[in-house]
Structure 1
């Protein structure tokens, strides 16, 4: 392939592409630059808003985590207290049941001795 022909093809293609671009562009260069500038300003504004919202959300998550830790700690302590209260409440009943079982066992043993 000839380098001169390749170079000529690239130049001709570029010229044709440039001409087509100028003819098919719906806006003038100034309008296009203004639209790009406006788009960039909107993008920066949205990025700043996203950054602010992300920081706010991060603070809310940290606060929620701290509150959750405190709440779960309190709930855990209350559950422990409730279980301990339950154990203390049922302890007399358990002792009585053990005594009744022992008495019943003694009765069974005495009945066996008699028979």
Structure 2
């Protein structure tokens, strides 16, 4: 008997729940189906729009990558050109400085040799 009471209670509960949900539903079954179809169509159109925007972003990224590689290539050539121009401008100055250093070194050597030569003459004259 207890099982029968549990079965009857379950059936009454399910029936009551269904009745309450039907009476409190904001839309009828047809309206709910139409609303779900509209929602799914909206979701589908949004997903299509996201795919299109994703493709646009991908194409924009690839275009930027291609353009930046061209710019960096050109920039590298310009830097090489600037360095070679700088070296061409500075080489005469480097050569002139080396020549001046050699002249000063030669003068210093000759001054030292004159001083040592004069010292020997003084020593020879003292003897």
Normalising by structure 1, we get a TM-score of 0.80
Please list every run of 5 or more consecutive structure 2 residues that lacks an aligned counterpart in the other structure: 117-127
Count how many residue pairs are aligned between Structure 1 and Structure 2.
Answer: 114
1:75 matched residue in structure 2: 75
Does residue 1:21 correspond to 2:21, yes or no?
Answer: yes
Rg (Cα) greater in structure? 2
Q: What is the CA-CA distance between 1:4 and the residue it aligns to?
A: 7.2
Does residue 1:49 correspond to 2:12, yes or no?
Answer: no
Q: What is the CA-CA distance between 1:90 and the residue it aligns to?
A: 0.5
Q: What is the CA-CA distance between 1:112 and the residue it aligns to?
A: 3.3
Q: How does 1:1-115 map to 2 (within 5 A)?
A: 11=11, 13-113=13-113, 114=115
RMSD of aligned residue pairs (Cα, Å)? 2.6
2:124 matched residue in structure 1: none
Normalising by structure 2, we get a TM-score of 0.73
